[in-house]
Structure formats: structure tokens, C-alpha cells
Structure 1
């Protein structure tokens, strides 16, 4: 009886801790949403106003009409989607080579690839900028896509997942005359699908939120991503924070696509955490 009470108490404390931490993580977004429907005086009121006396829902319409946020969101979603697709294919093919092929220097090459993951991203900006400039790709979405087409994390993640696939399945497919391309996408891919979805979700969020590098190579108003678009709105329409309700409203519908995607893909994301490369 005492052991059961201890187990229940432990489970209760764990759930309480998780609920508190979940609220702490979610609170900034909740505060952003509530501030978007407050007046400027209510935002700066002390003690804080948790819910406005009269919600100003029109702030969303005003913010949407104040800048081409639809175009900004499309640009970010389009470039992020293309980058994700390229990264998935590249990472899968390289991971397949590292797990299914035998060649001299394989481990050394993989170590070099992992070592490049430790290089600060900012250290690559100058050479990447020079290369893109020489290729005549400045101020284009193509430059953003090409410069992010390889994911070292994706190669490592897929390699670990592919190692869990029984070698007998791959060998049987080879005996039947299946090509490497068919083995990869018809045998290995179905068994490691949660890993693909996890990388797609992580990479999409990272590329959608990417700010510094696109800001260096994109200048035209119609090419800006949502991150740079929000900054432009903060400086111009937001007047450096004077129009905080509009800034909060713009930030809310800029983040909304990411929340929608995560809500759809979360079950696969969670499944990949304990995925062993095989279907149960």
C-alpha cells in the first residue's frame, strides 16, 4: 500500500512539474497573443492586465494591411519547403552511402562531415557571400535555397536511423535485383519515416525562422522573408515599438503557420524520439 502511494505521489509530482514547465514555455506566446488585442496603455499598465477590457481584434487586420505579410510568409514557407525537400533527399542518399556501401576512408569522411558541424555558422558567411556574388545570385531566393541545401545534422540523424534497419532486408532486395534508389525509398524510407518527418519539421522551423543570412543577401521588398519583414515593420510601421499592439499582432500570425505544422506532425515527431528504425 505504501509503495502504491509513493508511486502515485511520484507520478503526481512529475505531471505537476511537466504542467508547470509547459505553461512556462507557452506563456510568451500567450502573452504575445493577449498583447495583440490590448490597447497601448493596457500593455504598459502595472500591475499587468492579463485580459483587455475591450479586445481590439481589429489590430490583426490593421497589421496585415500595414505590410505585405502574406508575401513575406509565402516567401519564407516556399524557401523553407524547397530547402527541406532538398535536405531530405541529400541527407538520405549520403546516409545510405555511409551505411550500405563499403569504401576506403568512409569513417574519416564521416568524421570530417561531423567536424564541419562544429564550425560556427557565422564563419561561413563571408566565403558563402563571395561565392553567391560571383555566381550572380544575390538578392534571389535561389541563393537562400542553395546555401542551405545540405544538413550535417540530417546526415547524422539518418545514418543512425538507417543503421537500425536489418541488413537482411536490404540484402534480400539486392538479390531480387532492386536498385539502390528503390531500396532507399521503398524499403528503408517506410521503416524510418518518423525520422524523415522529424528532420523535416526541425529543418522547416529553422529555415522559416532564419534571419541573419537571408538579411545579408536579400534586399528587394518582394523577396524578403517573414523574419526580415517583421523587422522592417517594427522599424517603419511600428515606429520602434510605439505601436506595440500591431507588432504583437504581426508576430502572432507570423508564428501561426509553425504552430499549425507542429500540431499536424507532432505524433510523428514524438514517435521518432523512441524510434528504433523498425515498425512495431
Structure 2
């Protein structure tokens, strides 16, 4: 049966499309401006009367790739962020599994304590974390950056909520068959909550990749800079009036590329994970 649309329905749809287009334009414009500016000269960027460049200046990207430290910063951020994501997924999954499926006294209190720590301002953890790293000679090291971010409270909460959607009968049946907790997590729980794992991994990667304050506090060697630190260093290199804006825009566009690639490949699972789809069918 074909659904008939009334005039009110069509007007409502048009209004929604107009609102979405306007919001989309405002959301995408800064990114579009950055990409367009990356192909301009410094003088063209300063000339606000023209949006498009007279010609595409690919040499901006060539200079950033071959004559700047930006590629090294991107590699640093990719390696460190991937290591952090891997460790956070493991620690988050193990803690969430224990809280949901393992019966022991005080698990509710344990989860409460974990969530209370999530309410602490991030800045409140900087001094004790810095002291711990200093005592173990881990300042200005990749190891210090990774270990200090090895647990995500948000990840524990997200995976716990996903694990609670898994039928307990399936876990109990696997236990009766003699499966270990690690085997149950790997073969039963993970396939049913894969979207939540991917969502958490993507969000964790973005947070680590874009992190600026904490890496700036514990690293002072430019060879160990992550992209946010490196871009700021690249930005202020020429001083307030000597900044090569075209190169800064090209570097910024290059830094965003890994995130766009990840979203392109993971958007389906990301949307499923946000929607709470665990893959469990009735």
C-alpha cells in the first residue's frame, strides 16, 4: 500500500531539510574554509573579499610533507593513540565484564567508585599523575604518555551498558560448558557488542589524537610531540606577524585526514554503537 503524503507532511519535510542544510553548512564551513585556505597564498588568505584562490598552490602541501616536522607529529600521534586505544579497550572490557558477569561482594560499590572518579575534573589528576611518572622516570617518554592514559572511565561505563544487554543465560551456558571468562568475553560477549567496542575505540582514538594539555605537561622534546603540540609549535614559529598561514592551513588539513579515514570506514558501527545496538536479536 502506497502511503499518501498530505500538503502538511510535504511542508514539514521541506522545513526539516532546510534546517538540516543550514546546520550542515554552518558545521562544515570551518573545515571547508581550512581546506580552501590550504591552497591559497598568505596574501590571498588575508584578503577576505575572495573565498576561492586564483590558482591551486599544491606547493603548500609539498612543503608541509617534505620540509616540516608535521609528518613526524602525525606518526607520533597515530602510534601513541593506537597503543592507548588498544590498552583502554582491554582494561575497559575486563573491568566491565567483571562488574556485569562476575558475582562478588562490593561490585556495586566498585562501580560507584569508578563512576565517582569520572566526576573529577581532569586537571585535578595532573599533579598526582605527574609525580607518579616523575618517580618512575617516565616523563618525556612515549611509555609515560601511554601508561598514564591506559584506563578510560567512559569506556568502562559504555562497555558495561553494552554488556548488560547480553543475555545472562548465554554466559551461564558457556560457563556450564567449561569456558573460561576470557573465552566467554572473546567468543560470546565481544561478537554481540562489537559496535560498542568500535564506537569506544573511535572516540578514544579521537580524544588521544587531539589531546594537547597532558602531553604538553609531560613532554618537552619536540621529537616526541603529538599533532596538537606540533601544530601549535608550527603555528608560532614565525611569530605573530610572520605566521605562514597557508602552511598552517595545509598542515591542519593533513592532520585531519587520519580522522576522516577512520570515520569513513567505521561510521556504520559507530552509529550502531551510539544507538545501543548490541547485535542481540529477540
TM-score normalised per structure 2? 0.94
CA deviation profile, 1:239-268 (whole Å, cap 9, x unmatched): 666311111111110111111111111111
Structure 2: segments with no counterpart, 5+ residues: none
**Contact 1:241 / 1:247 at 8 angstroms: preserved in 2?**
no
What is the Cα deviation at residue 8 of structure 1?
2.6
**Contact 1:164 / 1:278 at 8 angstroms: preserved in 2?**
no
Judged with a 3 Å threshold, the aligned counterparts in structure 2 of structure 1 residues 2 and 268 are, in CA distance, closer, same or farther, namely closer
**Contact 1:165 / 1:278 at 8 angstroms: preserved in 2?**
no
Judged with a 3 Å threshold, the aligned counterparts in structure 2 of structure 1 residues 172 and 217 are, in CA distance, closer, same or farther, namely same
What is the Cα deviation at residue 138 of structure 1?
1.0
TM-score normalised per structure 1? 0.95
Root mean square deviation, CA, Å: 1.7
CA deviation profile, 1:106-127 (whole Å, cap 9, x unmatched): 1121111111111111111111
Structure 1: segments with no counterpart, 5+ residues: none
**Contact 2:60 / 2:246 at 8 angstroms: preserved in 1?**
yes
Count of residue pairs the alignment pairs up: 279
Once residues 23 and 239 of structure 1 are traced to their aligned partners in structure 2, the CA distance between those partners, rounded to angstroms, is 30
**Contact 1:79 / 1:145 at 8 angstroms: preserved in 2?**
yes
What is the Cα deviation at residue 237 of structure 1?
4.8
Partner of 2:47: 45
Once residues 176 and 24 of structure 2 are traced to their aligned partners in structure 1, the CA distance between those partners, rounded to angstroms, is 50
Partner of 1:23: 25
Once residues 165 and 33 of structure 2 are traced to their aligned partners in structure 1, the CA distance between those partners, rounded to angstroms, is 43
3-state SS of the aligned residue for 2:188? helix
Once residues 270 and 200 of structure 1 are traced to their aligned partners in structure 2, the CA distance between those partners, rounded to angstroms, is 13
The worse-fitting range, judged by mean Cα deviation, of 82-91 and 54-63 is: 54-63
**Contact 2:83 / 2:146 at 8 angstroms: preserved in 1?**
yes
Partner of 2:139: 138
What is the Cα deviation at residue 5 of structure 1?
2.4
Partner of 2:258: 257
Partner of 1:67: 68
